[in-house]
Structure 1
């Protein structure tokens, strides 16, 4: 197992700059943000431009990682593959395909994305549609030796009522994903606030997890007593402000990281555990983000066998 982080938390830094900093802090891998240019949209970045990505760009990127002794664990483009607007959906699907092609050129084992959801349709209707949407993407990935991985993030802000906007939030849905050739990018933080034990949920599926993310979550149960599980409704100006929990860097929330890492090892996981930094306390400035990544490293590094 290696320890890395998702580069999206540092959108204003170049990939070479991030690589230098990561090595200096003791990180061993990078999960590289590969969104198209979406302006100021939060938690996205373009550290690898996969549009028109060719042999020359692949060689330069491989040389960057080799020169710093880093592993490129995954290309990250987490967006709604079932977007209700047909043009937007087509653009998202096409960019996933471009990420797959770039990963193949780089020898990168995985590409991460979301299933997504059409919020005006039922879960079952969405699943049937997703089987059609993902069939060519799964085939493309398989032909190129790449695994398409889905993070189990709930994406509640994509639904007008705060319900799941990404249909990958439970083991029941993971099994559906596996049945159509998708893999899991396991992140325990989402399971905790959903009321699912992240260790017991993980245990049966480690062999379907080629990549994992490390994000923590801090719960405020007294506030949940007011809002209920879906969070704020009457006064929810920010679709992502549920009101009773928040993401943290590993070590500052409620996830039992010793149990999570031990269960990954017990199940035979030998991939990359990638810190996904979305902590509002250690965010907002680059210095704070760096500190958050250092806290995560101090938390997780002692748990990973050298």
Structure 2
């Protein structure tokens, strides 16, 4: 496996400066945003798709710093009920898949999206309760009329370009658990898999190690984010899992993101990395920094320092003791 970083946190740096900085930390991979929520500070999709010279220079810069691109990321809601939001997200995903293919990048990361509750809706509707039964009707409509048809088409597009799609299991979107991930994959095809982020498992009450086993047995982990979460039990008792408190009000939130090692200990992260290898995952572990208590540099540096000792770099080969 290779240790990498989702470079959206270095959006203030030029491409060369970002690559130099990441390489200086001993990392081996970068995950680059192409637009949507991550922005496109380091990867201009239209420019690279339409200019072969720019594309080759871009690849050369990454190579010169001893790095590989673990994924291109265009997180957005392509199933948003408002077409002015959904259409650009859909077009960006298509372009990102094509660019990944031209760059030889194996994974494109995004969200599953979340539709509304009928054709005339203005906003997404995220059902989280099976009763009253209205929610079941909304969920059925969303999956049958929106999610499955859309992602079947994207599965076929990705397969045609020899690319896999990593959906981040994130609350607020239709695919947010191992179960919903596998449901969509079964309906749409094997190019659809997870960009698994343990931070989103913890706050939903899911053990990340077990989620790796569940998805890994189906070969459904395409990419992996490294981010931590802390649960504030007193606030959890008051607000519950689906806490709507603003992220900036950390002292009032039931849970909030931390850099790796500041929500869970080294043994927990060692178990996560080891279970990834147990399930034959051998791609990138991509650091994502969204810690409200630490600067970007400090949080990123601590994540690197905490992950390096537990990374599994070499497969065992033949079991010589057997």
The CA distance in 2 between the partners of 1:63 and 1:47, in whole Å, is: 14
Deviations 1:52-94 (A, max 9, x none): 4232222112101111110100001111121110232111111
The CA distance in 2 between the partners of 1:91 and 1:45, in whole Å, is: 14
Secondary structure of 2:13's match?
A: coil
Query: Which runs of 5 or more residues in structure 1 are unaligned?
Result: 155-164, 283-287
Secondary structure of 1:13's match?
A: coil
Give the direction of change, closer, same or farther, for the CA distance of 1:44–1:221 in structure 2 (3 Å limit).
farther
Give the direction of change, closer, same or farther, for the CA distance of 1:239–1:126 in structure 2 (3 Å limit).
farther
Q: Tell me what 1:276 maps to.
A: 288
Deviations 1:173-232 (A, max 9, x none): 011122212111111111111011111121132221121110100110111111122224
The alpha-carbon deviation at position 127 of structure 1 amounts to: 1.9
Secondary structure of 2:8's match?
A: helix
The CA distance in 2 between the partners of 1:47 and 1:90, in whole Å, is: 23
Of 226, 231, 243, the residue aligned with 2:253 is: 243
Of 152, 175, 196, the residue aligned with 1:135 is: 152
The alpha-carbon deviation at position 240 of structure 1 amounts to: 9.1
Within a 5 Å distance, the mapping from 1:30-69 to structure 2 comes to 30-35=30-35, 44-52=39-47, 53-54=49-50, 55-69=52-66
1:82/1:116 contact within 8 Å kept? yes
Query: Which runs of 5 or more residues in structure 2 are unaligned?
Result: 118-124, 126-137, 314-322
- 1:186 and 2:196 are equivalent in the alignment: yes
Of 158, 165, 175, the residue aligned with 1:148 is: 165
Within a 5 Å distance, the mapping from 1:168-187 to structure 2 comes to 168-179=175-186, 180-181=188-189, 182-187=192-197
The CA distance in 2 between the partners of 1:221 and 1:27, in whole Å, is: 35
The CA distance in 2 between the partners of 1:245 and 1:279, in whole Å, is: 12
Of 219, 228, 238, the residue aligned with 2:240 is: 228
Give the direction of change, closer, same or farther, for the CA distance of 1:44–1:249 in structure 2 (3 Å limit).
farther
Of 213, 219, 222, the residue aligned with 1:203 is: 213
- 1:219 and 2:231 are equivalent in the alignment: yes
Q: How many residues align?
A: 283
Deviations 1:84-117 (A, max 9, x none): 1023211111100000111111000010000111
Secondary structure of 1:251's match?
A: coil
Larger radius of gyration: 2
Within a 5 Å distance, the mapping from 1:151-170 to structure 2 comes to 151-154=168-171, 165-170=172-177
Secondary structure of 2:45's match?
A: coil
Runs of 4+ in structure 1 deviating by more than 3 angstroms, as ranges, are 236-242
Secondary structure of 1:210's match?
A: strand
Secondary structure of 1:51's match?
A: helix
2:247/2:253 contact within 8 Å kept? no
Q: Tell me what 2:128 maps to.
A: none
Q: Tell me what 2:134 maps to.
A: none
Give me the TM-score of the superposition, normalised by structure 2. 0.83
Give the direction of change, closer, same or farther, for the CA distance of 1:240–1:198 in structure 2 (3 Å limit).
farther
Deviations 1:157-184 (A, max 9, x none): xxxxxxxx21221121011122212111
